């Protein structure tokens, strides 16, 4: 992922995203609840889902998914097709050949 992709997906440069994720990691490790200003209170809250960038593909040597079975990765944080690497929330991926346009649309049922 170049900086243009990082800015488009996450609203910040790759370096800023890295710093942000380091702070997130530190907060979660230490359960720090600090901010520069008053905390935002949220009422009538519920857990929800939203779309995030991810990869879909056919894995080889995945620890939980058999070779050749389709997978969706967790949220994608880094992608560099030139270097043939990607990093999801869970793990690094070595990128093989990219799917041709429309390949997955014809194989994955519409879930609307």
Pairing of the two strands 85-88 and 76-80: antiparallel
For the chain, the domain total comes to: 2
Q: Is 92 helix (H, G, I), strand (E, B) or coil?
A: strand
Q: Do 66 and 35 sit in the same domain of this protein?
A: no
**43-56 pLDDT tens trace:** 878 777 778 889 99
> Which tokens in the block code for residue 27?
């907060």
How many whole angstroms separate alpha carbon 26 and alpha carbon 65? 30
State residue 32's pLDDT score: 64
Q: What is the domain extent for residue 4?
A: 1-46
Q: Is 1 within a domain?
A: yes
Q: Is 104 within a domain?
A: no
Q: Is 110 within a domain?
A: no
Arithmetic mean of pLDDT over the chain:
81
Q: Do 34 and 60 sit in the same domain of this protein?
A: no
Q: Is 106 within a domain?
A: no
């Amino acid at each position: 992922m170049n900086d243009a992709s990082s800015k488009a997906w996450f609203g910040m440069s790759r370096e800023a995203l890295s710093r942000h994720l380091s702070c997130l990691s530190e907060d979660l490790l230490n359960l720090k609840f600090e901010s520069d200003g008053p905390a935002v209170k949220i009422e009538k809250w519920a857990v929800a889902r939203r779309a995030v960038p991810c990869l879909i593909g056919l894995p080889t040597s995945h620890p939980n998914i058999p070779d050749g079975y389709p997978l969706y990765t967790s949220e994608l944080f880094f992608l560099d097709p030139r270097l043939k690497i990607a990093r999801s929330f869970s793990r690094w991926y070595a990128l093989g050949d990219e799917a041709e346009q429309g390949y997955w649309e014809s194989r994955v049922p519409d879930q609307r």
